[in-house]
Chain A
């Protein structure tokens, strides 16, 4: 039986063997691997790309003080992007399950409709949740739109929920009992973080400060987006730095939400503000990379 980290090694190896760059986690807080620039920006435009990485993903509202065996404030996703998606993508995906020791002839597998949508990112796709013996182990999405833009090439995105998948492989009923590495439980590595962040997110986070931070990042991101047009050397322009501010806004929005500080009415408005920034950055990224596009077309 493989440990948590051994399973991750195997998956990375598997996708590395299939032409993926193995990236490291992005260093700004995100709610999902999709939000990392390696996905959100790289899926735009006509340039093929293949990448895989583990991304710790923060969902403040899902925190349970480490008391719930299946819910986490922060969980690890293994994110794979294949752009464009190869015709045998599902077979490749099934191969990855075999690579981590799943005998497909002895397990039940179903693809259940589950279309993905992120209003904050102006992104959506068509896909499934992949169910293994009744457990959702992967989210599979064919992206159609990102940053409000119809995509030139349709990427396939595979998102493995690692805690869940490994708990399944190790036969554990609580993710905290997973062997991270032989002799070290998941709880020893992460329980304190779950507890402390839950306390902060639900009880101690200062709402006024969070709003201030949100507005600061929104302002700075917006300022950058606005100044692109007048900036002389487009290739030097910090589109990527502007995108970091989008991610900051998104995470602060999630924090405010878990703190119960955003009413449903406000919600729609705040999401629209973040989306406006995200769409703006996507547009800049495409423009900045237009020479690549021209080269590919020529």
Chain B
């Protein structure tokens, strides 16, 4: 059987960069899955994309499917033949499978003897199969938002498909999508290349000759190498980040970085604004000088191979200057009215239709700060925190909300603690982002998030599935992180008040945080949270203690015993929690356990969580011996009840740190 390389390329108009990597993955999975399903073999040689193409090269696709034999079972042999003659059942089965009844044979299975036939299917040509399945398969590639471009009844894809390359060896696999026929011709760079014929073997180099670097990894390397060359010997370092790098890799076919400069006078504008303009609006890398300060330079990445006359550089410099001028204009205009004078204006900015304006929200935040015993700076920061929403700068650069408020407060002479708290009050914006850095910042950030959570939950706007338009999960996660990481013993119940749904919602975030972010095992989290989580920093401490004690010799076996105790109590229907009657204790293991328990419990108060857990774990030999030697189910009912009471005391006596019966043990 001949094995051939397969080349597939979907040529489109420019696909949004952020959708491309996932689309390539999906395309690859779909094709490899189909090859497997049809027994066509094949191993992936390359998969990649540029803004205008998704491509796959698969080696070793067999030219023709192997013939296959399949056993088809019919009725039981006993029902199919009577006295050696075929019955209606046998005739029907033969007819249904288009064979003569003489072709039937018997097959022994574990359910008995059945009649059966062997169905032979001749393998089909890979090209024929692929030409049937590829159109549907290509249109199945998932994109978050699609369009139609031929007519309302036409296919949907991310952008119009303009050409298709489908080759098995040198042979075109023929099919058509939206009037585009597959072939062997691809398109080079939009401005610097043209149409060119390819084969699986020549695809990469022929496109390179048409100014297209098809491999994303190659383009990334080219950008990074280019940046290194540009900054060499300049005492400048580019602030490269992966997200922007990804964008540039997938927005270009021939990326080439260039170095530009801007007038030093713009450095008087806040660095946050300059970097936002460069990074988010212009997709430039900013640069730092030898001291780490923002330098008056930028790196843009072109989609072409060079800029010998500096035309592209000058163009980018002019655009950047205009953008900086805009920002400077907003800064000057905004300074004409202080933040403090803008509080009343917040009445005109709606927070949420039913939750009122941002002025209402501000007033609620200030009240919350008072409840949380925040100082005057925290109160002031809460009062001014939303005022930047009325400024031109934030209307232009919404992603700088809070930050602009903090900068303006500083420029207007507010105390530093107030400025910093305003600046950071949207933090943490993600799991990777830090919480605010000051005590005032913690409280303002908490007040902001708690107010949003309370309000939305009161209105029944509770996130479900992927729908979370008010980013309540992020707000709740922020609350959890601030309480734990800033070590704030504010009772969660005082924040959620009587709202049970909100409390459950926060509990989900607490679990997520400890389990997925901090890496605790789920049973440890369950055990600790079962003992209460109103004081989150304390819960975090108990969790740390539990984790560190868990690997010690006695801990897990003891936890297993606790689970056993729980089961015994449940089976016995024991509900009484009365004191243990010492007189009824039998000398030996029972008495020993009771004494050890009393001793350990009495000493807990002076111990750290870890020491306490170690001390509890030390009971293990006594517990084991008790179960070995003592019959809980004593004939004397009073003794039996007393033993159950002893076990119950063990369970409840140590439940303040964790519910050990939640620990999942191997034994």
List residues of A whose CB falls within 8 A of some B CB. Answer: 64, 67-71, 84-85, 87, 90, 94, 104-113, 115, 126, 128, 132-135, 142, 144, 150-154, 168, 171, 173, 260, 263-265
Contacts and interface: CB of A to CB of B under 8 A. Distances in A.
Interface in B306-332: 307, 309, 311-312, 314-316, 318-322, 325-326, 329
B14 A153 contact: no
Nearest to B357: A263
Interface in B7-39: 13-14, 16-18
Contacts of B320: 134
B436 interface: no
A152 B148 CA distance: 10
Given A134-B282, A154-B150, A67 B309 contact: no
A108 B151 contact: no
6 contacts: A84-B150, A90-B13, A94-B191, A134-B315, A142-B149, A263-B350
Nearest to B347: A263
A265 B191 contact: no
Nearest to B332: A67
Nearest to B15: A113
Contacts of B307: 106, 108
Contacts of B326: 68, 70-71
Given A105-B191, A113-B16, 19 more contacts: A68-B325, A71-B326, A84-B150, A108-B304, A110-B303, A111-B51, A113-B14, A126-B147, A132-B315, A133-B311, A133-B319, A134-B300, A134-B315, A135-B315, A144-B148, A154-B151, A168-B318, A173-B321, A264-B350
A108 B147 contact: no
Contacts of A87: 160, 162, 179
Given A108-B302, A126-B159, A263-B348, A173 B191 contact: no
B162 A134 contact: no
A104 B312 contact: no
Contacts of A173: 318, 321-322
B353 interface: yes
Interface string B274-308: 00000000101000000000000000101110010
B239 to A, nearest CB: 18
Given A107-B315, A112-B251, A152 B152 contact: yes
Contact of A260 (B51, B348, B357): B348
B145 interface: yes
Nearest to B52: A111
A31 B629 CA distance: 90
Contacts of B14: 111, 113, 128
A69 B325 CA distance: 8
A109 B191 contact: yes
B252 interface: yes
Nearest to A135: B319
Nearest to A260: B348
A150 B350 contact: no
Contacts of B147: 126, 142, 144, 154
Contacts of A144: 147-148
B316 A134 contact: yes
A69 B326 CA distance: 8
Contact of A126 (B145, B303, B316): B145
Contacts of A150: 152
Contacts of B312: 106-108, 133
B13 A111 contact: yes
Contacts of A151: 152
Contacts of A168: 315, 318
Nearest to B315: A133
B326 to A, nearest CB: 6
B190 interface: yes
Contacts of B322: 69-70, 173
Q: Which 9 A-B pairs have the closest CB atoms?
A: A133-B315, A264-B350, A113-B16, A111-B14, A134-B316, A108-B302, A126-B147, A134-B319, A265-B350
A98 B216 CA distance: 30
Contacts of A133: 311-312, 314-316, 319
A135 B16 CA distance: 18
A84 B152 CA distance: 12
B350 A109 contact: no
B267 interface: no
B349 interface: yes
A109 B190 contact: yes
A265 B252 CA distance: 41
A260 B346 CA distance: 12
Interface string B337-376: 0000000000011100100010000000000000000000
Contacts of A260: 348
Residue of B17, B159, B319 with highest tally of chain A CB at under 10 A: B319
Contacts of A128: 14
A157 B599 CA distance: 83
Contacts of B630: none
B192 interface: yes
Contact of A152 (B151, B162, B302, B321): B151
A67 B349 contact: no
Interface in B124-170: 145, 147-152, 159-160, 162
B309 A106 contact: yes
Contacts of A70: 322, 325-326
Residue of B17, B149, B284 with highest tally of chain A CB at under 10 A: B149
Contacts of B191: 94, 104-105, 109
Contacts of A132: 315
Contacts of B162: 87
Contacts of B149: 85, 142, 154
Nearest to A149: B152
